[in-house]
Chain A
Amino acid sequence: MPPRIGSSTSSSLRAAARGLSTKTSPALTTPFVPVVSTLNTRPQTLSTQSPRTYATASSIGSLKLPDDYVPPTQPPSARRPEKRKSQLLRTYTSLLRSTPVILFFQHNNLTTQEWIAVRRELTVKMREIPQGPNDLVNYSDFVNISVLTTRLFLHALKVTEFYDPVAAKNKGERWTHDLSKAALEAVTEAKIEEESTYAQLQPLLVGPMAALTIPAVSPVHLAAALSILSPSPAFPAPRRKKRMAYHDPDVQAGLAKLMLVGGRVEGKVMDTDGVKWVGNIEGGVDSLRAQLVHVLQSAGMGLTNALETPGKSLWLSMESHRSVLEEAAGGGKKAEGEGEEKKV
């Protein structure tokens, strides 16, 4: 059994006991050290100092139990950390916050062999994609498909959408992490609107679900993953000649049971067609940006042209008019000058 009260806790208790002994009864001058040594596991025994009152954590202000106190009736969990619900929830919230592309698959009773085969094919295909010139890392290493605990995932989705840790901190909450009471309250009190990602994804995440996660909006990776996991005419599966192992019975049986139902791309919920549309973008986000810049530039050019033309034409007509006037005026001057000369 691990120690339930750490050294810092016992020292705080000792300090509190010291405060108590000086405050309540100066006559009680017995050394408090043995008392504290018996206190190690049960802080309630402090009440021995005044038998009629029961010292609880709330009754003595200075004797507040620390936040990391583990009650003896609820010992630390012995489950594997990665299988604990709390850890899973943290994994999911961090996944939802950091991963822009998540595709959701329904998996209908794939056997372990089939999962292994499908994952192998996905990895092999991903390794074929070279690192892009603007990529910080090779995203291929981080594309994977994993089975979700659907209810927990939905809760994590709620936490990421309806809970703001900064706001909770400003309210004076001590713990503002995703497992905190503040997060739970925010989630339970949240008013779920139809446009929210949670409300859109909730009917989708029913039954056995798996998620394919891609750490960046990279249509190349998305297209490659789609060609393996959910081949269609737009994303053809590798030919038998090119990749024999893809046509193994294990892989094919596994893929028959995997069904793409939708996805979430940059916070937007998409159906299968939407996901395929994203996979079809050639050149990725950079090419989209270039297209946008081009559109904006050409629009700007058109606008400046349109604004310029009347001014230009006005200037031209005025200029021609001026030249005509000048000619006329020049001619007059000449004539006048001649006249003057004649006068002189």
Chain B
Amino acid sequence: MITKYMTEIAVKFNPFSPRARSARLFLSYLPPTVRADGTAISTTLLPRTSTEPASLLVKFKDGKEMNLNCEEIGIKGLIEEVDRHSRALHKQANLNE
């Protein structure tokens, strides 16, 4: 996963819900240095009784915001969605060099 162009990641989920799986795995896919590289990460844990869907918000350096519903997209889908924009930004950065 390309995390270089992300400025903010906000994850919200109820850990007792089986459908929070992809949101939780997304966090585990972030490289160890992602916070030191300047990406702000915030995690909100919902209480056990909550029925609010798991959500993921990713903000990119170009200002794009991605609001993803983790209930329906699996971890591969999430990474694909995020990487699609990251790759475009990467290409742009390479052309500007």
Q: Which residues of A are in contact with B by a Cβ distance under 8 Å?
A: 106, 108-111, 114, 200, 202-204, 206-208, 253, 256-257, 259-262, 271-274
Give the complex CA separation of A262 and B30 in angstroms: 22
How many angstroms from the CA of A267 to the CA of B43 in the assembled complex? 27
Among candidates B21, B25, B35, residue contacting A253 with C-beta atoms closer than 8 Å: B35
Interface residues of B in 1-60 (CB under 8 A from A): 15-18, 20-21, 24-25, 27-28, 30-32, 35-36, 41, 43, 45, 47-48
C-alpha spacing A260/B21, complex, angstroms: 15
Residues of chain B whose beta carbon lies under 8 Å from any beta carbon of chain A: 15-18, 20-21, 24-25, 27-28, 30-32, 35-36, 41, 43, 45, 47-48
A193 to B20, CA, bound (A): 21
* Residue in A108, A272, A274 whose beta carbon sits within 8 Å of that of B45 in the complex: A272
A-B contacts, 17 of them at CB < 8 A, read: A106-B28, A108-B27, A109-B28, A109-B30, A200-B16, A204-B15, A206-B24, A207-B21, A253-B36, A256-B41, A257-B35, A259-B27, A259-B45, A262-B15, A271-B15, A271-B16, A271-B47
User: What's the minimum C-beta distance from A191 to chain B, rounded to whole angstroms?
Assistant: 19
* Given known A-B contacts A256-B35, A259-B43, A262-B15, A203 and B28 have beta carbons under 8 A apart: no
Measured CA separation A181–B21 after assembly (Å): 32
How far, in angstroms, from A108 to B21 measured CA to CA in the complex?
14
Given A259-B27, A262-B16, 20 other A-B contacts at CB below 8 A? Answer: A106-B15, A106-B24, A108-B27, A109-B30, A109-B32, A114-B32, A203-B15, A203-B18, A203-B20, A203-B21, A204-B16, A206-B21, A207-B25, A207-B27, A253-B35, A256-B41, A259-B45, A260-B45, A271-B48, A273-B47
What is the bound-complex CA distance between A203 and B17, given in angstroms?
Answer: 6
Option from A109, A253, A259 in Cβ contact (under 8 Å) with B31 = A109
Among B28, B41, B47, residue most surrounded by chain A Cβ atoms (within 10 Å): B28
- Count the A-B residue pairs with Cβ separation under 8 angstroms: how many? 58
In the assembled complex, the Cα of A110 lies from the Cα of B32 at a distance in Å of: 6
Q: Give the complex CA separation of A272 and B48 in angstroms.
A: 9
CA distance A261 to B23 in the complex (A): 13
- Give the CA-CA distance A273 to B45 in the complex, in Å: 10
Alpha-carbon gap, A53 to B24, bound state (A):
61
Q: How far is the CA of A253 from the CA of B34 in the complex (A)?
A: 10
A273 to B21, CA, bound (A): 20
* CB-defined contacts of A207 to chain B, threshold 8 Å: 21, 24-25, 27-28
CB distance from B87 to the nearest CB of A (A): 22
Contact of B15 among A111, A261, A274 (CB under 8 A): A261
CA distance A111 to B31 in the complex (A): 10
| In the complex, residue of chain A having the shortest beta-carbon distance to the beta carbon of B19 | A203
Is B25's CB under 8 angstroms from A206's CB? yes
Q: Are A111 and B35 in contact (CB under 8 A)?
A: no
Which chain B residue has the least Cβ–Cβ distance from A202? B18
Known: A262-B16, A271-B16. A257 touches B32 (CB 8 A): yes
Alpha-carbon distance between A253 and B25 when the two chains are bound, in angstroms: 19
A204 partner residues in chain B, CB cutoff 8 A: 15-16
Chain B residues whose CB sits within 8 angstroms of the CB of A206 once the complex forms: 20-21, 24-25
Compute how far the CA of A202 lies from the CA of B20 in the bound complex, rounded to whole angstroms: 12
Complex contacts, B45 vs chain A, CB 8 Å:
259-261, 272
CA distance A273 to B36 in the complex (A): 30
State the CA gap A256–B15 with chains docked (Å): 17
Contact A108–B48 (Cβ < 8 Å): no
Q: How far is the CA of A204 from the CA of B13 in the complex (A)?
A: 11
**Complex Cα gap A272–B49 (Å):** 12
| C-alpha gap A31/B20 in the complex (Å) | 72
Residues of B within 8 A of A272 (CB): 45, 47
CA–CA, A35 to B72, complex, Å? 68
* Residue of A whose beta carbon sits closest to that of B11: A259
6 nearest interchain CB pairs? A271-B48, A261-B15, A203-B18, A109-B32, A207-B28, A108-B28
| Interchain CA distance A203-B32 in the complex, whole Å | 25
CA gap between A87 and B18 in the complex, in Å? 29
